């Protein structure tokens, strides 16, 4: 599973050919959550509230890029949240 980016101890990954709906994985320590790319809601797992807020903030900024990566299955690193 390619690592798309990493920030504040959060790792964002995306499986190519993974099951629908389009989603990405956020890992923070022992926590893991799957975020729907379209709605940016957690569809599986959980993160602490602060980490979840940071992931959603980052995903809003790179929403179009995430959709493109999912649709084309072309790996591309994205900048971290600053």
Secondary structure (3-state) at 58? helix
* pLDDT-based confidence at residue 53 (cuts at 50, 70, 90): very high
Average pLDDT over every residue of 30-38: 97
How high is the pLDDT of residue 20?
85
% of the chain at pLDDT higher than 90: 84
Domain assignment present for residue 14? The answer is yes
Domain assignment present for residue 78? The answer is no
Domain assignment present for residue 28? The answer is yes
Print the domain residue range for 56. 3-72
Could you tell me if 24 and 59 are in contact, meaning their C-beta atoms sit under 8 angstroms apart?
yes
pTM, full prediction:
0.93
Domain count, the chain: 1
Domain assignment present for residue 13? The answer is yes
HSE toward the beta carbon, residue 2, CA cutoff 13 A = 14
Domain assignment present for residue 82? The answer is no
Domain assignment present for residue 57? The answer is yes
pLDDT at position 1 over 70 = no
Residue (of 14, 50, 4) closest to 35 by Cα position:
14
Distance of CA 53 to the CA centre of its chain: 12
């Amino acid at each position: 599973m390619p690592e798309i980016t990493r920030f504040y101890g959060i790792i964002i990954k995306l499986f190519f050919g993974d099951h629908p709906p389009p989603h990405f994985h956020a890992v923070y320590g022992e926590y893991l959550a799957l975020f729907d790319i379209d709605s940016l809601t957690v569809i599986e797992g959980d993160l602490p509230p602060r980490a979840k807020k940071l992931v959603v903030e980052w995903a809003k900024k790179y929403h179009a890029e995430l959709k493109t990566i999912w649709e084309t299955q072309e790996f591309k690193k994205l900048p971290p949240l600053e």
